[in-house]
A and B are shown apart, each in its own frame.
Chain A
C-alpha cells in the first residue's frame, strides 16, 4: 500500500479484508505495553463490550432521529408515481405536463454524516418501495456519459443480486456492450418488471409483494452542490422525455440551502421538475440527543471529564458539526482510558464490581493507593484506618467496593438533579448558566457550581419567577425525580409536592390579605395631617415595603429557591472531588487534543527544522508497508539504504522547489544533503 505520487493530498487506503486478524492485533497492542498483573485482557474485553453497547445505542438513536424524515420521504415516493400504472385518460392529467418528482433533501453542512443517512435511506427504500435505487456522487460523474454508465451499472446490478451469483459474471461482461442510453435502460426496466409480473412468486414472494407492479426508479444525487450544471441539466432533460416509460424519481442531497437548485438549473430545466422539500433534523439537536443518551445516563459506567467533553464539543461546534466525528472522538476516549488507566478494569457495571474488586492483584491495589483522590480520602480518615487502608489489601478492597458503589449512586443522583436544575436555568432570561444541558453539565463538572457568579445571578433571577412558571417547573422536577432510578428522592419528591400544594392554597388567602394591607395603610395616611408625621409615616411605609412586606408567595418562592440550592449543593458536587473518580472519568484532555487536533504546519515546521526527526519520519513511512519485525524497527539506527534514499529525495525535493533550506545559522537541511562539504 503505497503511492508513487509526489503531489500533495491525502491518500485513502481502504482497510484490507483481514478484519479478524486486526482485532487480535489490537488485543496484542493492549497487552504488550503493560505487564500482565494489570488485567489487560479483561480491560480489553470490557472496552470492546462497552463500545459495542454504545455503538448499538448510537445507531438506534440515529435511526429514531431519521425516522420522521424517512417516513415522509417514503410517503412522497409512494404517491409520486401512483398514476403511472393507471394510465388515466382524465382531461387534467392529459393536459398537465409530466414533471419528474423530485425530493430536495436538505441535510446540513456536516457532510461526513450524510453517508450514514443515505445508507439508511437506501435500505428503507429497498425494503419498502423499490429495489431500484442508484446513488450517484459528483466525483464519479464528470460528464453525462459517466453518469449514465454509473447509473445503469448500479441499477442493473441491483437486479442481479436477487438472482443467483453465478449469473453475475456473464452479465457483467455483457453490460459493457450495452449502449449507455435511455432506450436500453427503458427496455431493461420493461423486461425486469414484466419478469416479476409473470413469474409466479415462489422464491421471490417476499421481495415482490413489498414492491408494486412497477416500482419507481430512484436516483439519488448525494452531493448536489458538486455536480456540474451541464451534467444535471442534460440528465434531467433526457429523463423528462422518457418519464412516461420510466417512472423516475430524483432525490437531491443538499448540504447548504435549497436555493442551490435555482442556482444550478435554469428555469427551463427546473420547470421539468416537481420539487418538494424535506429537511433533516439539525445536527445540534442530534448532538444534544446523543449527549443526553450517552453521557447523562447511568447505563454506561464510563464517563467523560469536563476538559475532555469540552474538547469534543468544541471540535463539533467550531469545526465540523459532525456527529459521527463526535462519536469517533468518544470512542477514542474509551479506548485511551482503558488502555492507559490500569484501574479501568473496575469501570464496569455495578453487578460486576464486587467480583472484579476482589480479584485485584497486589500491584493493582498499589495503583489504587497511588490515586490522588484516594490519597486525599485517606488523609481525612483517622490514623488507625489510615494504616489499615495503606497496608491491608483485603480491607482496601472492601473499602474500594463501597466507594465505587457510592460513586455509582452519586452519578445517578447527579443526573437527576442536573436535569432539575436545567429545568430552572433554561427558562431564565439571558441563560446565565447556558441554554443547553451540556453547558450546565460542563459547568457542574468543572468546579463547585454554586460558587460561580453565574449560579448566583441565576438564583437571583429564579427568585423573580412568576407563579405559573414556578409551578410548572416544580411539576417537571417532580416528574424527573419520580422517573429517576435514584432511591433517595422519595423525601425530595414529598417536599416538592408540599410546595406545590402550598402554592395552591395561597391563591385564596393571598387576595384578601393584599387588600387588607393596602387599605389600612391608606387609612393611616388620611389620618395624619401634620407634615412631620406625614413624612415619617411615608418613610416608614417605604421602609416596610422594601423589607418587611413580603407576601406569602414571595416567602414561598424564597423557600423553593433555597431548597433547590440545597439540593444542588448536596448532589452536584464536581466529579473531581469524589474519591476514585479516576477509575470512571476520563480526563486526559491533552492526550485527546494531541490525537484529534493535528497541526500539520507546526509538525512540518519542527520536522524540517530537525533533520533527524525528518529522517525518522521518512523511514517510518517507507517501512510502513512492511511487517514490523519487532526489535529492528524500534532501534534508533536507520538502515543505510534508507538513509541514502532520504538524502537523495531531499535534494530532489529541494531542486523541485518543494522545500528550501532555512538559512539559519546551522543550516540543517543543507548540511544534511551535502554532508560535510
Chain B
C-alpha cells in the first residue's frame, strides 16, 4: 500500500486522510506533490475529470479540509451566472474566519472588479503566504458563461499576482473546454472509474453497527453481482444497499438462518434485488414506496410503475388531429394524392418515388408540415364533415402545449405555421385503435 508521504504535513493527518479516501491514494499523493508546501506557489490551474461518482468532489473536499488548506468550494450549476459565481467566491472568502464576518453585500459584475476585490479579501484574510485553492465543481457550466470567464480562471494566479490555484472538476474531457482563441493549458488529471473490487471495498467500509463487517461484505458482494452490470454509480449503489439491507437480514432476524448461511441468504435476497433493479433503480416506483412494500411484505406487482400509465385520453377530434399530423410527418407530400384521393390510379412504389425517398421515413424522423396539409388530411380521414371552428384550431395549440406536436420555425409570420408530430408509432397506433382507424394502411413506409 503506497503510504502517503509528504514532508510538509504531519504524518497523523496524512494517515487519517488515507483512511478516508480508499482506492484513491495515488491520485491524492499526486495532488499533494503538485500542491507542494503551504507557502509554495502551485500550478496555476488543475483540471480533474472522470465519470460520475469517481470521487472527484469527495477527494478534493476531504483533502482540503483534512489538511486544513485555505479553500473555496463552488458548484457552477448552482451559481448559474458569472456574477453570482464571482460574488459567491468572494463571500466564501470573506466568511472564512468566523471572527471577521461581514454582512455587507458584495457587488461584483465583472472580472476586473473580481480581481480587485479578490486582492482585498486575500489581504484582509491574511492569506498572502499560503496557497488559496478555488475549486469549481461542474466546471462545464463555465463554458456557457461569458467568453472571458474560463480563460481568466485558468490564469488567475497571474492576473491577481497572488498565491492561488484554481481546480476545475468536470465529467468531460479538457478538449471540449478549450476555447478556439486559445488559453492557458491547465494541468489535467484523470480519475479512473472504480473497479468492482474498489466498489466492494468502499461499500463494505460502512457496515451497520449491529452486524459484523464480514456479513455486510457478503451482502455487498451479492448486491454488486446483480447491479454491477447496469450501475457503477457509487452513490446509487450505496442507496440501493441501504434500501435492501433490511430484507437481507430478515432470515437472520427471524432466526431461520445464521450469519454464515450465505446460500440461504442469497436465495432470499437475489430475486428481491432483481425486482429492485426493474423498479426502484429505474425510478418506476419511489424508494419510499419500495420500503413500505418491504415493510408490509407485499408484492411489488401490486404497485404500478410510472411507465404503466402510458395511456393518454384525448378528445375525439384531437385523436384524429394527431393521427393526421403523424401521417403528414411521415409520408412524403407526393403520396397524399395516392392515399386520400378516390381515383388515384395505381402507382407502383418502386418507380413512383425518387431514390432518396426509398429509405424508411421512420428512420429519418418526423418532417415538418404546414397547417393546411394537416387540416386537409384531417378532413379526409374523419368520416363525418368537420367544420373548421375555432375549437379545432385551439386543439392544435393545446396539442403543442402537451408536447405531442411541436411547432417549427414560429418566427415566420407570413406563411402559415408549420408543425412536427413528436409521438411514437406505438402511441399513435394505440390512439388509432380507439377510433377504429387503421393507420398502418395510410403510412407509406408500411405499404
Contact = CB atoms under 8 A, between A and B. Distances in A.
A226 interface: yes
Interface stretch (B145-153, B190-198, B251-259, B390-398): B390-398
Contact of A256 (B241, B242, B283, B402): B402
Nearest to A274: B286
A99 B282 CA distance: 14
A183 B404 CA distance: 38
A91 to B, nearest CB: 4
Contacts of B286: 99, 102, 273-276
A279 interface: yes
B390 A597 contact: yes
Nearest to A90: B208
Nearest to B92: A183
B243 A225 contact: no
Nearest to B138: A237
Given A109-B318, A321-B313, A181 B84 contact: yes
A87 to B, nearest CB: 17
A275 B88 contact: no
Interface stretch (A57-65, A124-132, A372-380, A599-607): A599-607
Interface-centre pick from A181, A241, A279, A315 (highest chain B CB count, 10 A) = A181
A234 interface: yes
Contacts of B398: 109, 111, 320
B87 A91 contact: no
Nearest to B106: A179
A200 interface: no
A602 B387 CA distance: 9
Interface in A162-213: 177, 179-183
A277 B392 contact: no
Given A92-B242, A97-B239, A238 B77 contact: yes
Interface stretch (B157-165, B304-312, B323-331, B350-358): B304-312
A643 B345 CA distance: 53
A597 B391 contact: yes
A342 interface: no
Contacts of A600: 388-390, 393
Nearest to A270: B283
A501 interface: no
A543 to B, nearest CB: 44
B389 A598 contact: yes
A95 B315 contact: no
Nearest to A97: B239
Given A181-B79, A238-B77, A275-B306, A599 B315 contact: no
A145 interface: yes
Interface residues of A, number: 67
Interface in A572-605: 597-602
A275 to B, nearest CB: 5
Interface in B392-446: 392-395, 398, 401-404, 413-414
Contact of B312 (A109, A177, A183): A109
Interface in A295-336: 315-321
B307 A259 contact: yes
Contact of A319 (B312, B317, B401): B317
Contact of B80 (A108, A111, A234, A602): A234
Chain B interface category by residue count: 35 or more
B236 interface: yes
Interface in B80-122: 80-81, 84, 87-88, 105
B69 interface: no
A71 to B, nearest CB: 18
Contacts of A274: 286-288
Given A238-B78, A259-B307, A275-B306, A181 B88 contact: yes
A145 B79 CA distance: 10
A602 B389 CA distance: 9
Contact of A241 (B75, B88, B394): B75
A260 B81 CA distance: 29
B239 A96 contact: yes
A282 B246 CA distance: 38
A321 B80 contact: no
Contacts of B77: 234, 237-238
A279 B311 CA distance: 12
B406 to A, nearest CB: 11
Contacts of B233: 268, 271
Interface in B366-395: 387-395
A282 B236 contact: no
A245 B444 CA distance: 57
B403 A226 contact: yes
B310 A95 contact: no
B414 A597 contact: no
Contacts of A275: 283, 286, 306
Contacts of A601: 388
Contacts of A177: 105
Contact of A277 (B80, B241, B309): B309
Contact of A320 (B84, B236, B311, B391): B391
Contacts of B301: none
Given A180-B84, A276-B288, A256 B312 contact: yes
B317 A318 contact: yes
B314 interface: yes
A111 B78 contact: no
Interface of B: 52, 75, 77-81, 84, 87-88, 105, 206, 208-210, 233, 235-236, 238-239, 241-243, 245-246, 282-283, 286-289, 304, 306-307, 309-318, 387-395, 398, 401-404, 413-414
Closest 7 CB pairs of A and B: A95-B242, A97-B239, A598-B390, A91-B208, A319-B391, A258-B306, A274-B286
22 contacts: A8-B413, A92-B246, A95-B206, A95-B241, A96-B242, A97-B235, A109-B312, A144-B80, A145-B81, A181-B88, A225-B401, A255-B401, A256-B404, A257-B312, A259-B309, A261-B306, A275-B286, A317-B316, A318-B316, A599-B390, A600-B389, A600-B390
